[in-house]
Amino acid sequence: MALLEVSNLSIAVAAGGKLLPVVQGISFQVEAGKTLGIVGESGCGKSLTSLAIMGLLEGSQVRIIGGTIHFNGQNMLTLSDKKRREIMGAEMAMIFQEPMTSLNPVYRVGDQIIEAIRQHKKQTKQQARARAIELLTLVRIPDAEKRIESYPHQLSGGMRQRVMIAMALACDPKLLIADEPTTALDVTVQARILELLKELQQQTGMAIVLISHDLGVIAETCDSVAVMYRGKFVEVAPSAELFSTVAHPYTSGLLSSIPVSDHEIDRLDAIPGRVPMLGEDVIGCAFHPRCNLAQECCSLKDPEEVSLTQTHFTRCHFPIGSNL
Ligand SMILES: Nc1ncnc2c1ncn2[C@@H]1O[C@H](COP(=O)(O)OP(=O)(O)OP(=O)(O)O)[C@@H](O)[C@H]1O
Ligand SMILES: [Mg+2]
């Protein structure tokens, strides 16, 4: 069994006495030491998927309505709360897009890392401080011994994201979920952070789920890719296979909207139209109103999943380059 196995996961938002589906029957696996990328436009359900895995949906109006999440062989949805919290805190960690929302502005970064370490491990303050310096060095923060005394606002965006990664590593997670970890950063810093994540993965053997709306970021970093549209995976494949033989018109649209140069501000050829709103009914394939390859049946029937190879799946009536 893979380290993380998500099967048929469905999530809904409770609104006005109704349950509105936001994630619909997605399945994926992540092996130890591997990276899965989840990519899609804003609002397609990427963050809710990661929050569900981390067990962070409790108490909100969003809930899991079907499917299973197995982590390290254990069914996370049927474990006792106590056991689940132990695993969530110690074996899975998450980093978010904007470090300032997770770092407390009034405490020194060192104290925040020390606190994170001591939450997970019985260590004296001195031991935890030494470990914090080690972690800051690991994430390539120069002069870690001095930097540990800084307040978050004294660090650049890239340095703050490194601090967040150090905090996430404090518990030696088996799985790291990174939700748009580089979106707020400029392109060069973004590349360095992704490079760092890869290096850390090689050292620690952790699995990573990397979430991004940018297929360029995913392409460089991930072993396999899941393309998400409106709560469903519309294409899943190993990275190399996905990029050499794109099957879904949505994936193809995302690919042509990757900016060609670092200075490009406008996205090239962005996909026309918009993602349907929460609760908006679209009959047939949810992407058909925006798809330039759509035919009549696309507006009548939601496509089933089809396998193009053993590892490459898509949900499209007319996958590009296939005779289906
Ligand atoms: N707490 C909430 N209450 C109600 N609706 C929510 C809540 N959280 C998310 N949603 C809705 O669920 C859908 C999926 O949200 P999600 O945050 O997972 O998208 P996303 O793919 O992460 O988007 P982004 O790229 O903007 O981060 C959106 O339509 C969003 O409006
Ligand atoms: Mg999100």
- The CATH number for 240's domain is 3.40.50.300
| Smallest-distance ligand from the CA of 58 | 1
Looking at residue 106, its pLDDT comes to: 93
The protein residue whose alpha carbon is closest to atom 30 in ligand 1 is 43
Q: Going by C-beta distance under 8 Å and a sequence separation of 6 or more, which residues neighbour residue 273?
A: 289, 290
CA of 180 to the centre of ligand 2 (A): 7
Q: Kindly state the average pLDDT of the residues 167-185.
A: 90
Q: Say if 324 falls within a structural domain.
A: no
Helix (H, G, I), strand (E, B) or coil at 158: helix
Q: Say if 203 falls within a structural domain.
A: yes
Q: Which residue has the tokens 């006495």?
A: 17
Contact of 88 with 94, CB cutoff 8 Å: no
Torsion of Cα atoms, 32 then 35 then 40 then 45, to 10°: 20
**Sorting pLDDT into bands at 50, 70 and 90, what band is 205?**
very high
**Rounded to whole angstroms, how far apart are CA atoms 213 and 59?**
27
Which residue would you say has higher pLDDT here, 27 or 123?
Answer: 27
Nearest Cα to Cα of residue 196 among 170, 165, 238: 165
Percentage of the chain modeled with pLDDT above 70: 95
**Sorting pLDDT into bands at 50, 70 and 90, what band is 235?**
very high
**Rounded to whole angstroms, how far apart are CA atoms 237 and 86?**
32
Q: Which tokens belong to 236?
A: 């899943």
Q: Say if 198 falls within a structural domain.
A: yes
Looking at residue 217, its pLDDT comes to: 87
Looking at residue 259, its pLDDT comes to: 63
Q: C-alpha angle with apex 323: 317 to 324, nearest 5 degrees?
A: 35
Which residue would you say has higher pLDDT here, 86 or 174?
Answer: 174
**Sorting pLDDT into bands at 50, 70 and 90, what band is 272?**
confident
Looking at residue 66, its pLDDT comes to: 96
**Sorting pLDDT into bands at 50, 70 and 90, what band is 299?**
very high
Contact of 34 with 239, CB cutoff 8 Å: no
Sign of CA dihedral 31, 33, 34, 35: positive
Q: Going by C-beta distance under 8 Å and a sequence separation of 6 or more, which residues neighbour residue 190?
A: 182, 217
Q: Which tokens belong to 183?
A: 């979106």
Looking at residue 290, its pLDDT comes to: 95
131: pLDDT strictly greater than 80: yes
Q: Going by C-beta distance under 8 Å and a sequence separation of 6 or more, which residues neighbour residue 12?
A: 19, 20, 21, 22, 62, 63, 65
Q: Say if 67 falls within a structural domain.
A: yes
Looking at residue 34, its pLDDT comes to: 97
**Sorting pLDDT into bands at 50, 70 and 90, what band is 120?**
confident
Q: Which tokens belong to 281?
A: 């009914």
Pocket test for ligand 1, best of 61, 278, 280 (most atoms within 8 A of CB): 278
Contact of 209 with 20, CB cutoff 8 Å: no
Q: Say if 319 falls within a structural domain.
A: no
Q: Kindly state the average pLDDT of the residues 117-123.
A: 86
Helix (H, G, I), strand (E, B) or coil at 318: coil
Q: At what angle do helices 109-120 and 157-169 cross, to 10 degrees?
A: 20
22 pocket-lining for ligand 1 (C-beta < 6 Å): yes
**Sorting pLDDT into bands at 50, 70 and 90, what band is 102?**
confident
Task: Report the chain's mean pLDDT, rounded to a whole number.
Answer: 90
Q: Kindly state the average pLDDT of the residues 317-323.
A: 84
Domain residue limits at 42 = 4-106+151-314
Closest ligand 1 atom, residue 211 Cα: 22
**Rounded to whole angstroms, how far apart are CA atoms 162 and 141?**
7
**Rounded to whole angstroms, how far apart are CA atoms 72 and 83?**
13
Closest ligand 1 atom, residue 49 Cα: 18
281: pLDDT strictly greater than 90: no
Q: Going by C-beta distance under 8 Å and a sequence separation of 6 or more, which residues neighbour residue 287?
A: 229, 230, 234, 248, 249, 250, 294
Looking at residue 260, its pLDDT comes to: 58
Sign of CA dihedral 255, 20, 7, 58: positive
Q: C-alpha angle with apex 251: 248 to 257, nearest 5 degrees?
A: 145
Pocket test for ligand 1, best of 19, 22, 234 (most atoms within 8 A of CB): 22
Q: Tally the domains of the chain.
A: 1
CA of 22 to the centre of ligand 1 (A): 8
268: pLDDT strictly greater than 60: no
Q: Say if 92 falls within a structural domain.
A: yes
Q: Say if 322 falls within a structural domain.
A: no
Looking at residue 324, its pLDDT comes to: 55
Contact of 76 with 92, CB cutoff 8 Å: no
Q: Kindly state the average pLDDT of the residues 246-251.
A: 96
Q: Kindly state the average pLDDT of the residues 66-95.
A: 90
Looking at residue 119, its pLDDT comes to: 84
278 pocket-lining for ligand 1 (C-beta < 6 Å): yes
